[in-house]
Structure 1
Amino acid sequence: MALFCVKITENVNKDKRMTIKKFFVILIFPILVGLIQIPTLGELLWSNETTHNVNYGAHLAVSVGSFLVLAVFSLLIYKWLGGTSIDWTNWSWKIIGTAVIAAVLSQAIQFGLSIITKTPTRDSETLTALHSCIGSITILTLLVLSPVLEEILFQGILQQEILGKFRPYLAIGITAIIFALIHGYSLGIGTLELLFSGLAYALAFWYTDDLKCPMLAHGLSNLIVMILLLW
């Protein structure tokens, strides 16, 4: 009986500690969102630069340097909340296939919406950067750095750990809405389009239970957008 009571007390204390951890991460979540945008500062030309006058080393340091620091920081928070380790060596057809389907469907829906609403899809700043000396950094950030950081934050920390006790459809929906609002900055057609990307990544993670899947889906989505930009 004494052992049983001790076990219950230990479980209660463990739950309290986890609740405190989650509450703390919720409080700093807006800061985390801002921090993971730092690598994107290196993917575009700065105000004092032209396509042929670029400080490549500075852009590389901003994108890659900040990514390495933030990736370690984000993974530490993810693990602190109880997240499982990411097995980078295991790439099943389920993970790859789900990522491809999520990326293609989300971008097809967004493309369809842009046609129906006659919303411009051109991103002049990104297009200029792609045609400049920092094009390789822009590609690296779009396809790898941003997807990795954002999916650790949104799917790993938010969907899996903070909203993990919610029903799946609630966790997926809340994660997708927050993703869209943060990227869309306002309530409009652009935010609605981004909602489908958020849903695609959240569903991909829920279906595979592997963070690599939404990372890959996110990177492939950005690849599709980049190809359309350059087309």
Structure 2
Amino acid sequence: MRKINIFWNWFQDNNQAIKNLKNETPINKKQICYWLDKQLGYYSKDLDFMIVFPKKQNQKTELIITANGNPDYFNQVEELINNAPVLKHWKFTAFIQPTSNIDQIINGLDEPYVFQEITIKTSEIKFLPLNYDDNIKKLDIIIYLKNYTINCNTKTWQQIIYIILQDVLGEKSLYQNINFVQLAQLSNSTEELIELYELQFYIDTINKSDVS
């Protein structure tokens, strides 16, 4: 608890500078981020942070604490956020949350992910379930990509698909529900495939039927 208090006391003392980060000079930005990372590291070196700046002036700046999908540190994330102070201009969030832009994805208006030589949109991705493991309560899936070929850099594809899945499901749900992901080329026949944005709904349906 002492380490948690030390972090939040430091954050409260410096929250205005952090809140104004995007308006700082590059040197000051680097210094502020360095000290924020340093202070978080005193609590746990295995956690990271994200700052989401508001689009409107009356909205709060959001500090997200993430374990990068590692369940060994989920409790540390939750404990830190559960003890966060109440600050007028701040929102504190445990874990990367699912995207709120589902309507844009459904309509194909979502922004593309650009990663090295790959450009892809969530609205272009489909999936099929492979297997549901009753013992660990997790799902194996096949992800279908229109530009994926066996000659492509598989590691690069896996990295970007993990990022997209995390945005669709959220950091915690991705770990809790997905076990194995296989990549495949999207063929012309897509009638049986499921849109990726429906993955959480599919998972919820399985979990409900499993409980009943």
Q: TM-score, normalised by structure 2?
A: 0.29
If each structure's helix is expressed as a fraction of its own residues, which one has the higher value?
Answer: 1
Q: TM-score, normalised by structure 1?
A: 0.28
Structure of higher RCO (CA pairs closer than 8 Å, 6+ residues apart): 1
